[in-house]
Amino acid sequence: MRIKQVPAGARADDSAACVRSSLPSSRPWATALLTSAIVIGGIAPAMALPQDFWSDDVFYEPAPPPRPVIHRRHKAPRAKVKETVAPARKPQRPLIVAVSIRNQSLKVYDANGLFAEAPVSTGMAGHATPLGIFSVIQKNKWHRSNIYSGAPMPYMQRLTWSGIAMHAGALPGYPASHGCIRMPNHFATQIWNWTRMGARVVVTSGEVAPVAFSHPLLVTQKPAPQALPPADDSVPSADAKPATPAALINATIDSAKSTDDTTTAITIDLKDLRPSLTPHIGAIAEPTTTGLAADKPTKVADASATLTQTATPSTLTDGTTSAPGSDAAPAAVPTPPAPKRTGPIAVFISGKDGKLYVRQNFEPLFDAPITIAPSERPLGTHVFTAQAVTAPEDGDKTAVTFRWSAMSMPVEARAKAVSRRAAKRRHDIGAIDTEPKPTADSATEALDRLTIPAETMTRVAEALSTGSSIIVSDQALDRSETGQGTDFIVPLR
């Protein structure tokens, strides 16, 4: 069998015709098969169909791999404290405000316990809210910041003169202020009406709450007022004139002569007596001058002196009135007694100073030394608050007793003091060295170590009232913060 070659570029129909003419007709199936092979092989590459066009195999393209999920570390959301609706009743004093930095919450305690609660926003990093014991020292509804470009601080209640206060503001759910304690607007208006000047505010990292407390050192019964001495029956009449110094001297001489006839004559030189008793004896020395301009009286002084000499008579010690221009000095005018202070007192017992300080209405009242028993443990920081309760005892309806509550401040761990080079190396590796927390005395143990004079405790007991407080601490009096117009401020950090 001879097969004619067909050029690659020839048509498929011509190639099939040539093959059919050269093949015998006895094998039609072979002819058909060969024709199909020639047709398929002679198709130009440009006209070829896809390779898998006639295939019965099914190909599945694999799906693209899923994108890797990146797990980002998100900070755990802070638990927002739900604002509790304050009851319709008013709080019963004394009030204590406790702020927790860790929980970002503020709680108000009255004489019956927890009264109200609200979320707050305290100082952010770099402007942390100081921890410690404070009190409300100023209130202003429409205050503007003196530090941060007059930023509004509505319903402001100042805690320190260095810029820390409680006021209404935005609450994002985390510390975001510059050191102040932000409160919800509605709650800020409520607590504004509850608190008074001097209300105690405690800021700690955790939660603290006042508990009922009693101790022999804390007064429970207010001492009765001292009875005045009985008045003398021999009261001089209104017409009686006061005895003059000369009359007193003559009466003394006469009594001395009448007691004993042999008594020698008493010689009294009036010049030896006090000048206040002898106004007419001796002339007043003229002031010496140096001839300088400072020694010359001014015209105003001359006019005042002239008016005094011509118009103001002076009263002598014997009750007579001297003529104007005489040498007699006017009688001393007695100063009126200082008005008695009212309001709760604040007592600070310093273990470092060994003294007891008392303030009332933000002004020093008195201080006294005390004795503290030595111990290896610190006193700690404790706040004792008094509540006066009028209860009839033995038929006396005016008897006043006191109940006390106590709050013990947690001991904060302080960073260990190291050199700058060692601190940098520890900072690079992320290590934080802290000093071990010292174990402080409990409130009872701290008061057991104190010895206060009875006279000092009597003065404290006489001034006690509802809201009065006693602070016991190892620290010295912080004179930088506890200045004029403040109660005692005890920093804890």
Considering the domain 96-209, what is its CATH architecture?
Beta Barrel (2.40)
Q: Which of 123, 129, 120 is nearest to 160 (CA)?
A: 129
Q: What is the pLDDT of residue 453?
A: 95
pLDDT for residue 98 = 97
Upper half-sphere CA count for residue 152 (Cβ side, 13 Å): 8
**pLDDT 10s digits, 13-36:** 555 555 455 545 556 777 777 777
Stretches where the chain sits below pLDDT 70 are: 1-27, 38-60, 72-88, 225-340, 391-398, 413-419, 430-437
Q: What is the pLDDT of residues 59-102, one digit of tens each?
A: 667 778 888 877 766 555 555 555 555 566 789 999 999 999 99
Region 213-223+340-476: CATH code: 2.40.440
Predicted local distance difference test score (pLDDT) of residue 248: 47
pTM of the model: 0.61
Sketch the domain layout of the chain as residue ranges. 12-46, 96-209, 213-223+340-476
Same fold: 96-209 with 213-223+340-476:
yes
Q: What is the pLDDT of residue 50?
A: 55
**C-alpha span between 353 and 107 (Å, rounded):** 33
